[in-house]
């Protein structure tokens, strides 16, 4: 039996606004990647994509500011005055900022094309990859495994491609199928790696299972169902992966905050 | 250059929490928030019972995982080995809280992270941290590990058993637990340091 005097108990240090941020940053990073590809391939709708990217990034940054306990201390400027490339949040902040600036110039159609292409490639990749990295670096939290380095960018791209499918972009349905299946496979790999891992990973797997595991399975089933829906019910095929991908990301962020399995 | 460390003799600790109260007063922690807490664990079954009173706080790790993840660079290690932070630059992102394997960091209601800093203001004046000075059983020692004659070096040398928390993580804690009461060492520990 264990009792505590004065435990600070930061078991849940990120709350529901953070889940909204993880959903929005998936869209923002994914949209930035789409804008980068559209800019490089001279897609006729690149300006629209750039505008959507800007709106999503601004919305995400606003959510981050709202949820920050330091929102009225305005200390966030220090991110841009420091050089901390080992910090995933620093990488993400720069990725989003670079994507925002480059998208703005693509939208107004000004500036050197090559520069904005390069900026969009670098910025969008940073923005897309950093959420998974921000979790995976915490080796002390066994539910945040290196598999997230692949699963989070995949689900991020999936949500934005699903939005594009919803707005009937011709290129979207094919990618919707590919990304849904890839995300579902990585979701299974994530569970399998936990279930067959070391003792702490297995305890974390049991914890995940008892704290929302069935919802994880629901999300996987939704993702796996997308190829069957793409032709028959295109709107459902676009909505279903948004729900599935957001559910998976939210469950991992929320439940994964625990540690001390077997400790 | 010094390397500050603390040792707590668990054989002598009675779990009175005087250290925790002293810490909160010294560092003006708001009511209900703590930098130092006590984990009281009962081990075994009657009549073969042992109780481990284990005060916990930041371990001032030699390889602190909390430092490299801080996006503003406000977490740093001083030349004396104290893992410190400049709260004026903290954005409250909780990345360091996520990275700490010991739950040693928490969010101050004013919107920045807080944790034990070995009472650096007292240490700078040549005084011991408040918890060390207050402990009624004298189970805490603090000092410079580079000095073999410091109280902490002597206490560690003379201990029957020395443990650190989760040594398998490679964080290199500078908070040592001496003479754990249970035969197997620390409750939930992964092994002895010496
Ligand atoms: S105990 Fe936690 S907060 Fe303290 S130095 Fe180690 S990792 Fe950082
Ligand atoms: S909460 Fe503050 S101290 Fe911790 S990583 Fe974020 S900015 Fe750094």
- From B36, B56, B57, B59, the mutation candidate for ligand 1 (largest count of ligand atoms within 8 A of CB) is B59
Given a cut of 80, whether residue A237 has pLDDT beyond it is: yes
Q: A258 — contact with chain B (CB < 8 Å)? A: no
Secondary element (H or E) of residue B121: helix B120-124
Which position has the token pair 């089933």? Answer: A221
Give A169's contacts (C-beta < 8 A, 6+ positions apart).
Answer: A45
Report which ligand 1 atom has the smallest distance to the Cα of B171.
6
Where exactly are the structural domains of chain B? 4-63+116-178
Higher-pLDDT residue of A161, A3: A161
Is the distance from CB of A123 to CB of A32 less than 8 angstroms?
A: yes
Span A11-19, mean pLDDT?
87
3-state class of B129 per DSSP?
Answer: coil
> Minimal Cα–Cα distance from A80 to chain B, Å?
8
pLDDT at A253: 97
Residue A85 forms contact with B (CB below 8 Å): no
The pLDDT tens digits for B37-54 are: 999 999 888 888 999 999
A139 interface with B at CB cutoff 8 Å: yes
Which residues on neighbouring strands pair with residue B42, listed in sequence order?
B51
For residues A123 and A99, the answer to whether their CB atoms sit within 8 Å is: yes
The reported pLDDT for the residue numbered A70 is: 87
What is the SS3 string spanning chain A?
Answer: CEEEECCCCCCCCCCHHHHHHHHHHHHHHHHHHHHHHHHHCCCCCHHHHHHHHHHHHHHHHHHHHHHCCCCCCCCCHHHHHCCCCCCHHHHHHHHHHHHHHHHHHHHHCCCCHHHHHHHHHHHHHHHHHHHHHHHHCCCCCCCCCCCHHHHHHHHHHHHHHHHHHHCCCCCHHHHHHHHHHHHHHHHHHHHHHHHCCCHHHHHHHHHHHHCCHHHHHHHHHHHHHHHHHHHHCHHHHHHHHHHHHHHHHHHHHHHCCCCCCCC
What pLDDT shows up at residue B189? Answer: 59
Q: Give dist(CA A220, CA A235) in Å, integer.
A: 19
Closest ligand 1 atom to B59 CA: 1
Residue A147 in tokens: 């598999």
To the question of domain B4-63+116-178 being in CATH 3.30.70.270, the answer is no
Mean pLDDT of B149-175: 96
d(CA A49, CA A55) in angstroms, rounded, equals: 10
Protein residue with least CA distance to atom 8, ligand 2: B70
- Asked whether B57 and B69 are in contact (CB, 8 A), the reply is no
Domains of chain A, CATH where assigned: 1-140 (1.20.1630.10), 161-263 (no CATH)
Q: Packing angle between helix A16-40 and helix A88-108, nearest 10 degrees?
A: 50
Average pLDDT for A125-151: 97
Minimal C-alpha gap between A45 and chain B (Å): 35
* H or E element, residue B52: strand B48-56
pLDDT, average across residues B11-34: 94
Q: Is A245 left (phi over 0), alpha (psi -120 to 50) or beta?
A: alpha
As a whole number, mean pLDDT of residues A196-218 equals 94
| Bond into B47 cis (ω within 30) | yes
Atom 2 of ligand 2, residue of closest alpha carbon: B90
d(CA B109, CA B117): 18
pTM above 0.90, yes or no: yes
Q: Is B47 helix (H, G, I), strand (E, B) or coil?
A: coil
Q: Which of B58, B77, B92 for a ligand 2 pocket mutation test, highest count of atoms within 8 Å of Cβ?
A: B92
Answer yes or no: is pLDDT of B194 > 50.
no
What pLDDT digit, counting tens, does each position of B88-100 carry? 999 999 999 999 9
Residue in B70, B93, B98 closest to A138 by CB: B98
Would you tell me how many other CB atoms lie within 10 Å of the CB of residue A215? 14
Residue in A176, A157, A152, A170 with CA at minimum distance from that of residue A238: A176
For residue A35, which of A116, A93, A90 has the smallest C-alpha distance? A116
Say if residue A187's pLDDT is above 90.
yes
Which band of pLDDT confidence, cut at 50, 70 and 90, is reported for residue A82?
very high
Gap from CA of A218 to ligand 1 centroid (Å) = 37
Tokens of A29: 């990073």
Angle of CA points B181, B184, B188, to nearest 5°? 90
A29 CA to middle of ligand 2, Å? 23
Rg value, chain A, Cα: 19
Predicted confidence at residue A261, as pLDDT, reads 64
Token pair of B38, please? 């006590």
Q: Name the residue with the closest Cα to ligand 1, atom 6.
A: B61
Per-residue confidence band for A76, with pLDDT thresholds at 50, 70 and 90: confident
User: Using the beta-carbon criterion (under 8 Å), do A7 and B34 form an inter-chain contact?
Assistant: yes
What pLDDT sits at residue A4? 84
Cβ atoms of B92 and A70 within 8 Å: the answer is yes
Does B103 contact A141 at a Cβ distance shorter than 8 Å? no
Distance between A67 CA and the closest CA of chain B, angstroms: 9
Q: Which residues have C-beta within 8 Å of that of residue B75, sequence separation ≥ 6?
A: B64, B66, B67, B83, B84, B85, B96
């Amino acid at each position: 039996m264990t009792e505590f005097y004065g435990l600070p108990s930061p078991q849940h240090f990120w709350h529901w606004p953070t889940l909204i941020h993880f959903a929005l940053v998936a869209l923002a990073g994914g949209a930035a990647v789409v804008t980068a590809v559209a800019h490089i391939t001279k897609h006729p709708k690149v300006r629209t994509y750039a505008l959507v990217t800007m709106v999503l990034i601004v919305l995400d940054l606003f959510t981050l500011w709202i949820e920050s306990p330091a929102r009225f201390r305005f200390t966030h400027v220090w991110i841009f005055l420091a050089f901390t490339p080992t910090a995933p949040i620093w990488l993400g902040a720069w990725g989003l900022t670079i994507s925002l600036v480059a998208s703005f110039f693509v939208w107004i159609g000004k500036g050197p094309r090559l520069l904005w292409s390069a900026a969009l490639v670098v910025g969008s990749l940073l923005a897309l990859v950093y959420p998974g990295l921000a979790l995976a670096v915490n080796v002390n939290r066994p539910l945040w495994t290196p598999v997230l380095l692949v699963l989070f960018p995949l689900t991020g791209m999936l949500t934005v491609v699903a939005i594009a499918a919803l707005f009937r972009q011709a290129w979207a349905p094919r990618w919707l199928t590919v990304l849904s299946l890839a995300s579902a496979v990585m979701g299974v790999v994530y569970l399998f790696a936990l279930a067959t891992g070391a003792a702490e990973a297995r305890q974390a797997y049991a914890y995940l299972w008892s704290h929302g595991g069935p919802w994880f399975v629901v999300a996987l089933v939704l993702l796996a169902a997308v190829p069957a829906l793409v032709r028959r019910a295109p709107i459902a095929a676009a909505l279903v992966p948004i729900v599935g991908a957001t559910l998976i990301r939210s469950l991992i962020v929320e439940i994964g905050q625990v540690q001390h399995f077997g400790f | 250059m010094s390397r500050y460390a603390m040792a707590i003799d668990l054989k002598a600790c009675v779990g009175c929490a005087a250290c925790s109260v002293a810490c909160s007063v010294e560092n003006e922690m708001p009511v209900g928030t703590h930098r130092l807490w006590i984990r009281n664990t009962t081990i075994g079954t009657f009549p073969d019972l042992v109780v481990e009173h284990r005060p916990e706080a930041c371990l001032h790790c030699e390889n602190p995982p909390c430092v490299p993840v801080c996006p503003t660079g406000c977490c740093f290690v001083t030349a004396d080995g104290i893992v410190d932070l400049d709260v004026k630059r903290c954005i409250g992102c909780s990345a360091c809280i996520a990275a700490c394997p010991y739950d040693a960091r928490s969010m101050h209601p004013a919107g920045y992270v807080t944790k034990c800093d070995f009472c650096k203001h007292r240490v700078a004046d040549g005084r011991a941290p408040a918890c060390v000075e207050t402990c009624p059983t004298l189970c805490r020692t603090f000092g410079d590990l580079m000095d073999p004659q410091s109280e902490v070096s002597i206490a560690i040398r003379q201990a029957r058993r020395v443990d650190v928390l989760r040594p398998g993580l490679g964080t290199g804690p500078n908070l040592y637990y001496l003479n754990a009461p249970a035969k197997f060492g620390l409750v939930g520990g992964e092994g002895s340091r010496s």
